[in-house]
Structure 1
Amino acid sequence: MPRPAVHLAIPVTDLPAARAFYGGVLGLESGRESDHWIDWNFYGHQLVTHVTSGTAEAGLSEVDDHEVPIPHFGLLLGVEAFTELSDRLRAAGVTFLIEPYLRFPDTPAEQWTMFFKDPAGNSLEFKAFSDENQVFAR
């Protein structure tokens, strides 16, 4: 049986812009596609960008004195992959909603996090726990 993986479908308004962002900026490998959607290998998970007439308006939630966009999606990465991605985003001129920062330093929940939007306005969050065994710790 294959390992569990997430399938996530998101709305985009411009497929070439989605290709440039997800394939170019994030460096994801594309899979099957049509004139209306593209499958992406999202770090071993299936992300599908579907052309729609618009995206959902986001709300905000207060977290650590930051305005976190709701809804959002993203991944948990290792610290090295997180750092490489944040460097790649900076080099591409991506504007961060929340700059990469360290939350809960010197605690078991220590983690890096960052937020940014894709060209269609979908909010993404990437995290990296210093100790991956603490992701669900209470």
Structure 2
Amino acid sequence: MLNPFHLSFVVPDKEEAKRFYLDILGCSIGRDNPTWFDILFYGHQITIHQASDKMQAFQIDHFGPILSKEEWLSVLKVCKLNDVEFAANSLIKNEGTEDESGKFLIKDPSGNTLEFKYYLDFERTVG
């Protein structure tokens, strides 16, 4: 079993980020206060801070969850229905084999890139 990770970053518009992660990606909110909030991001904790004089927003190169194929297809569908900006369209490799995998990359409202992946046999990738 893998342990959850924590990721924290700063965005220019906290409320816009909150709407994206909660309403589009379907994440749930944890702690919430005027300058930051936590979300449960596919089993992991992300803390999103509002940019200020003391904290500047910088785009993250990329991060994201590894999901089951069913979850991956569901998130892909929701992103397309909500006109989310894709940084890389969905791609499935080795379809129909034990090495099948898929990925796509999207942009959040702050320009951060999120990579969504699946592996039919995740244990083979870490093994």
**TM-score normalised to structure 2 length:** 0.87
Q: Following the alignment from structure 1 to structure 2, what is the Cα–Cα distance between the partners of residues 103 and 12? A: 33
Other-structure match for 2:109: 119
SS of residue paired to 1:115: strand
Other-structure match for 1:37: 36
User: Following TM superposition, by how much is the alpha carbon of 1:6 offset from its aligned partner in structure 2, in angstroms?
Assistant: 0.4
Other-structure match for 1:48: 47
Contact 1:74/1:125 (<8 A) preserved = yes
**What are the Cα deviations for residues 8-65 of structure 1, in whole angstroms up to 9, with x where unaligned?**
1122110110111001000110010111111001122111111223323x7xxxxxxx
User: Following TM superposition, by how much is the alpha carbon of 1:108 offset from its aligned partner in structure 2, in angstroms?
Assistant: 4.1
Q: For residue 36 of structure 2, what is the amino acid of its counterpart?
A: W
Contact 1:11/1:120 (<8 A) preserved = no
User: Following TM superposition, by how much is the alpha carbon of 1:106 offset from its aligned partner in structure 2, in angstroms?
Assistant: 5.1
Q: Following the alignment from structure 1 to structure 2, what is the Cα–Cα distance between the partners of residues 133 and 97? A: 27
User: Following TM superposition, by how much is the alpha carbon of 1:110 offset from its aligned partner in structure 2, in angstroms?
Assistant: 2.0
Q: For residue 110 of structure 2, what is the amino acid of its counterpart?
A: A
Contact 1:72/1:123 (<8 A) preserved = yes
Q: Which runs of 5+ in 1 are unaligned?
A: 59-70
Q: Does 1:134 align with 2:121?
A: no
| Two-structure CA RMSD over aligned residues (Å) | 1.7
**TM-score normalised to structure 1 length:** 0.81
Q: Does 1:4 align with 2:32?
A: no
Question: Which moved further from structure 2: 33-42 or 3-12?
Answer: 3-12
1:96 to 86, 101, 126: 86
User: Following TM superposition, by how much is the alpha carbon of 1:76 offset from its aligned partner in structure 2, in angstroms?
Assistant: 0.3
**What are the Cα deviations for residues 95-134 of structure 1, in whole angstroms up to 9, with x where unaligned?**
2111111124455432110001100111100101122222
